[in-house]
Structure 1
């Protein structure tokens, strides 16, 4: 529906409490870590271990009882996970290995060592769990901002309704400090809106009549009347939630490999431990107690805890950090792929450019004033929804010109529009009409206009002519303007050793002008959607991993074909956002280079972690057989390495 002012309540009726729902704090908070149930269990287990050790010299029975409670509190979750894996998947995992090692240590009287193993193992698991929770909060911080109800205006009265009841055209009131409940356009009011939860912008954005607003953002100091433009299930907010759900289930290839390796490795370790318990007394004449002790040390140091924890904390930390900058990954696999990027291919319109044409040249013919022609042009184009027409109207509004009444306005299919002002016929349309006209007393300067058109076209501009009856009165040139950050974005990618391509359906002349301004390495113009797909395939064959950045429906096939498809979140089409693997929520293409750098850094950290983990396991295993190491040292060495690789991954959260 089209809201009218008589249906709006008075300004005085909208004052309310200035509640300030905002995105959760994103800096490190020890209280948040301590509130993690796994962390509480790990710390409880550690405290009981200390009490058990302290009372050991006074009461052995009490000490053992405290150790049993310590084992239970610290190891319950891990034992449960291990049993579920064994029962459901018929596989062994690292959880069962560590519980078995702790129980084995206790069975030969090393209660404290077993409790220490449980404590450090639980602590490392809690750290990894905290990393996952922290990452999910950063990716989906707007989940906490999900609006439940909206204040709908109906015939001048306000009714609070569930957001699922909203339909396109509804008029809503958003009080100061309230969440905006739906995607829409401001009908009346002015305010600054905090969009940080969706776009990552740190500074609130000023909104006024005609401005677009998004569900889940926070209104500032002024009331806003909003007309709903999207149903609840189609809002940008709803799309982000869907992306978050996909991100939580998507597992990177390296993690899949580690999970497969873990299952095989765990079987080998169990078989080796059983062999170490049975064979040495017969083959090497070792005592049963010494054999069992070495087997328990082997079981501890050979377990792949650090290796298993090498990947996900680092990957989740990188995804989390990207989310804080308004770059949303749909899963860790796309972060891995982005780290291997060799080419970034940009769509032109709406990606490297603003996507909205601007009037760049306005030329008045002899006997006409520029102001007169601009007023006439804007008046006639005012009723048209064509992007070029809207650009002309915007230009007149920027210059403060008053539009005139137009009669008998009609569209000339395939050419332009005409109308009468004060009984005088004016026509505006494509400049190709110049080729059909002949020099005459009505158009004595035809060749001059053709030359001018050629010059403007060579600059990549779209040219329209203004006709006063049959006489050429003027010429308008329009061009899609380059994004202010486009040149810097391209340069930063090239500094990383990445080639930059531009794919566009626009004319080659226009594409070359944009290419010259932005500095891209390769230009492919006059492309249909299927042509873009062919060029993406060719780039992948020649250079390797390709990231495609686009915003339109026509970009969707190319986004799906690229190694990583990156969609523009603010102005991107629904199809582009659905298919994209990564979404730039604030449309800031400068973040692409820093995101690739972060992805590469995360992969370096994963490699560091894996090399470190394998080295520690190898050194401890060799030391156990060559020289023999104490169980406490094996526990600290092995579990300490696990905590170190997790903390190394957490560095990316800074």
Structure 2
């Protein structure tokens, strides 16, 4: 340990040394993030300067106006041209640039510059809205640890996280981010797990307990043994979910994007027809026709409509992330609101997944402690959850386990082992039901009706006792089901456990429909059946055996803290703190998002129709059309941001 302490200052020096290259990169990234806003403000400033010098330097004023056009509109024009060339389609960017150039062509330089300025400003605000709504999720990525202090022979060395291997021993000092998933070898501390579970209250951790990469160590130093390489850590999986969520487009947005191209072509066609036919049919002058055509091109553009969906959806995703609900994309968040039934797995989802011994009933002439000691000795070599629960109970009672020989698993029954020369067997009562005495059969029925899993203990081929275990339901399970019922959503439970046990647990949790004795394939069939009957179905699970059902459901929800890697990969939504009550919150959030999106769409269409009607009936000045149209875009963005609360 002395050698270790000698090398710590050097490691500290490396960790705390300033990095000029990183600072420059962060400054550059900050400027790039605000690039659109800077361009918009620059365009507006140049517009005011050109307007101020129009009377005494008209030629110079036009040059400044052209500069204002270039500063505010260059990026939009480039995006519009790329869409036209690559996708052979039109978008709002090209419509706005065309309207501004048209205004300039008939001498309305200031109106065209104002259009460019407000259009660029609304675009910058939309980018800001998206960035703000992503911040709570993207902040996770900034917590990704880059280095770790690894203990090696003769000292310590600061190494990249990517070099860590399972079994490496790390030192995490107070206030540092834990660099890898692992188990505490020594030390104790309060660890802030907000980046993983969404809960900001630190959790006390001691030796033997697991910790996650990306969580923040508190006041104590921790020695941690790595249990997962960096790419396999839960934190890395969260980052993958984040990236998927940011790139996934909801169904409504995909429809709007398809509609935008068609609508833009209609607007361009109508504008051309107006320019050609209005002087002939309505007797308008060329200047009046072109001016009204430019106003029409502005007010008919679908900017607000295009901005109706994504800011609201990203805000909702961000809202959920703060509460430990990670959505793999807007489409899954959108689908949650349509759900009519939520199907739960039992073990590890509605229940804690940690069975405990509740009853031990033995034949006359046998001591309960003696039977439990032999039972635990036989189970000690098994990794089955029930076996671990039996061994744990023996440890709680202070029993020393006996050496077991010839331990083997018996298919369809249980296990057997030779202890002190005698054969002991532990297994399912149903496998030897005809051999059970009457008292055993009666006791099995009683215990199973209470939701307990029963094992029969056999000594010298004679049943001598029954051991009952129960996996207690999660404290919030009943409340979670009750909250779903208030939302008009039914609940179901799909489990591989015996029907009697399933019904007892289901009744305790208040579940509406209970299905037991199901294999993974049976769960899939039941999910399909529920979808046919109710429409949209949410499936909630945690294990590998739940993965097929999660994939089959309309939306699959995985338990993030206790769930398997397969369940996390297949699921569409992850509950990072395993809080079942968040399911009702997620459905409510989805319904709010859909309601706001509908409000935005109706408002955007109404503004477009009103402005078009006003242009032809009364006549609207181009600046007023610009303000009305782009103002509606800003309003729908701000309406979507309400979901951040």
TM-score higher than 0.5: yes
Report 1:492-641 matches (<5 A).
Answer: 492-641=483-632
2 CA distance for matches of 1:367 and 1:40? 88
- The aligned residue for residue 359 of structure 1 is 357
- Matched with 2:426 is 429
Residue 371 (structure 1) shift: 5.7
SS at match of 1:628: coil
Residues 585-611 of structure 1: CA distance to partner in whole angstroms, max 9, x if unpaired? 221111011111111111111111111
2:84 corresponds to? 86
3-state SS in 1 of match to 2:578: coil
CA distance in 2, matches of 1:592, 1:485: 11
C-alpha distance after superposition, 1:281-311 (max 9, x if no partner)? 2222211111111111111111111111111
Counterpart mapping for 1:163-562 below 5 A: 163-363=161-361, 377-378=375-376, 381-397=379-395, 399=396, 401-414=397-410, 415-418=414-417, 420=419, 427=424, 429-430=426-427, 432=429, 435=433, 446-466=437-457, 474-562=465-553
Which consecutive unaligned segments of at least 5 residues does structure 2 have?
17-29
Give the conservation status (yes or no) of the 8 Å contact 1:376–1:403: no
TM-superposed CA distance for 1:139, in Å, is 2.4
String of CA shifts for 1:127-151, please: whole Å, max 9, x gaps. 2212222333322322111122222
Is the deviation greater in 339-348 or in 465-474? 465-474
Task: Summarize the Cα distance change of 1:454–1:396 in structure 2 as closer, same or farther, 3 Å threshold.
Answer: same
The answer on whether the counterparts of 1:547 and 1:565 sit within 8 Å (CA) in structure 2 is yes
- Structure 1 residue 254, shift from structure 2 partner: 1.3
Q: Distance in 2 between matches of 1:652 and 1:153?
A: 46
Q: Distance in 1 between matches of 2:616 and 2:260?
A: 23
- Structure 1, residues 385-439: CA drift from partner, whole Å, max 9, x if none? 2211211233344x4x43425234442432334464xx5858361263874658x
Q: Shift of the alpha carbon at 1:527?
A: 1.1
Root mean square deviation, CA, Å: 2.8
How many Å apart are 1:351 and its aligned residue? 1.0
C-alpha separation in 1, matches of 2:87 and 2:49:
38
Q: TM-score when scaled to structure 1? A: 0.89
1:47 alignment partner in structure 2? 45
| Structure 1: stretches of 5+ with no match in the other structure | 1-6, 21-31, 439-445
**Structure 1, 53-62 or 551-560: larger mean CA deviation:** 53-62
- Alpha-carbon offset, residue 42 of structure 1: 1.8
SS of match in other structure, 1:650: helix
Shift of 1:538: 1.2
8 Å Cα contact 1:301-1:620 kept in structure 2 = yes
Q: CA deviation at 1:201?
A: 1.3
SS of the counterpart of 1:341?
coil
User: Per-residue CA shift, 1:455-501, capped at 9, x if unaligned?
Assistant: 11222212234567677665321011111111111111111111111
- Give the length in aligned residue pairs: 627
SS in 1 for 2:76: helix
Name the counterpart of 1:121. Answer: 119
Distance (whole Å) between structure 2 residues aligned to residue 470 and residue 561 of structure 1: 45
Query: Residue 180 of structure 2 contacts residue 214 of structure 2 at CA under 8 Å; is this kept in 1?
Result: yes
Work out whether 1:652 is the aligned partner of 2:638. Answer: no
Change in CA separation of 1:350 and 1:608 when aligned onto 2, cut-off 3 Å: same
Partner SS, residue 218 of structure 1 = coil
Determine if contact 2:149/2:156 at 8 Å carries over to the other structure: yes
Q: 1:156 to 1:388 in 2, by over 3 A?
A: farther
Answer with 215-224 or 378-387: which moved more.
Answer: 378-387
Using the alignment, how far apart are the partners of 1:571 and 1:485 within structure 2?
A: 16
Q: Is the 8 A contact 2:373 2:401 kept in 1?
A: no
**How far apart are the structure 1 equivalents of 2:433 and 2:270?**
87
How far residue 339 of structure 1 moved from its aligned partner, in angstroms, is: 1.6
Contact 2:308–2:637 at 8 Å: present in 1 too? Answer: yes
**Offset, 1:124:** 1.5
Pick which of 514-523 and 100-109 moved more.
Answer: 100-109
1:139 to 137, 140, 143: 137
Give the TM-score normalised by the residue count of structure 2: 0.90
Asked whether the 8 Å contact 2:312–2:597 carries over to 1, the reply is: yes
Contact 1:124 1:646 in 2 (8 A): no
State the alpha-carbon separation in 2 of the partners of residues 578 and 405 from structure 1.
40
Shift in Å, 1:382: 3.8
> CA separation in 2, counterparts of 1:164 and 1:35?
28
Which deviates more from structure 2 when the two are superposed, residues 385-394 or residues 304-313?
385-394
1:159–1:13 distance in 2 versus 1, CA, 3 Å: closer
Give the stretch that moved more between structures: 9-18 or 136-145. Answer: 9-18
1:619 Cα deviation after fit: 0.8
Matched-pair contact (CA < 8 Å) for 1:8–1:156? no
Call closer, same or farther: CA 1:206–1:426 in 2, change over 3 Å.
farther
Pair 1:210–1:426, CA change in 2 (3 A) = farther
Per-residue CA deviations over 1:103-130 (Å, capped at 9, x if unaligned) read: 2222223222222222221122112212
Kept after mapping to 2: 8 A contact 1:8/1:153: no
| Distance in structure 2 (CA, Å) of the matches to 1:9 and 1:371 | 49
Question: Alignment partner of 1:40: what SS?
Answer: helix
- Matched with 1:100 is 98
Cα distance change of structure 1 residues 413 and 377 upon mapping to structure 2, 3 Å threshold: closer
Query: 1:65-95: CA deviations, max 9, x gaps?
Result: 4333322222122111111111211111100
Q: 1:275 to 1:133 in 2, by over 3 A?
A: same
Post-superposition offset of 1:312: 0.8
